[in-house]
Amino acid sequence: MTLSFQTIALVGKYQSPDVAEAVLRIADFLRERAHTVWIEQGTASSIGMVGGFRVATYDEIGVGADLALVLGGDGTMLNTARRLAEHEVPMIGVNQGRLGFLTDVGRDNAIECLSEMLSGRYVEERRSMLAAEVLRGGARMFQTLALNDVVVNKGDIGRMIEFDLSINDEFVYTQRSDGMIVSTPTGSTAYALSANGPILHPNVGGIALVPLCPHALTARPVTLPDDCRIDISLLPPHDARVHFDGQTRFDARAGDCVRITRAPHCVRLLHPQGYSYFAMLREKLHWSAVPRLP
């Protein structure tokens, strides 16, 4: 079913001159098409002048917007996805960054592409998220969502940490390593890929566990069903740092438990018509690239 996009919110990469120009250009384009245009509060502050457009918080966008246009790189998309997740506002990513795994509308043809998509020619995709919490003595100390991954690592210390891994209350192993990446299919092409984790198609209902430099060479990446509950319990005397999409972090103490499950919310991404996940991988991972000459 084709969605109707009357109220459209624009979210831009923070303090980026290039994105500021693009935000105002697209805002004018949308207003000419008789859309109601909102500009996210932090984006508006960064731009300075918003040309009479309404400034809105993430909460207001979640409740009242029909669509969010995200201008920036994957980092901007990750942050916006976490902020709007519970509202399941559909999002379109306009790539103003580098790789752009999640932002697949090119900056050079953005107006033309958006015109097609706003006319109903798009492909909708739902991406799973992770819900994570840090427990201390049974009490919740921190909780958040992640679209890419939750990473438990050694932080600033120069030695390995040690932790127990349990799945659905069943003990799996004790591991000594630099840490563990717990990744969604979306995040499988991010940090987890660099650590030799598997690439998971977005339609796969799985969560990847990817050890970081494990002391035991037999500790390999494992893909779990996404209805599992994953507990990573830090063993004394090891503290650790927990990262969420590489943007939010929490300093955990020895004895803390990092608990991870699939989130109840999904991220709704809209792609241009003809979008192909495998074509995206070929481009971003240079699978068919011609070798560079010396």
Would you state the torsion angle of the CA atoms of residues 29, 34, 40, 45, taken in this order, to the nearest 10 degrees?
A: 60
Phi/psi for 10 (5° steps) reads -110, 130
Could you tell me which residue, 288 or 205, shows the higher pLDDT? 205
Task: State the Cα–Cα distance between residues 96 and 104, nearest whole angstrom.
Answer: 10
Domains of the chain, start order: 7-120 (3.40.50.10330), 130-264 (2.60.200.30)
Predicted confidence at residue 90, as pLDDT, reads: 97
Q: What is the largest CA-CA distance in the chain?
A: 61
Residues for the chain: how many in total?
294
Q: What confidence tens digit (pLDDT) does each residue in 12-29 have?
A: 987 777 788 889 899 999
For residues 66-73, give the mean pLDDT.
95
Active-site residue set = 74
- Asked if residue 98 has pLDDT above 80, the reply is no
Q: What angle do CA 3, 87, 231 make, to 5 degrees?
A: 130
Token pair, residue 59, equals: 């909460």
Q: What confidence tens digit (pLDDT) does each residue in 151-182 have?
A: 999 988 888 999 999 999 999 999 999 999 99
The percent of residues in the chain predicted with pLDDT above 70, rounded, is 97
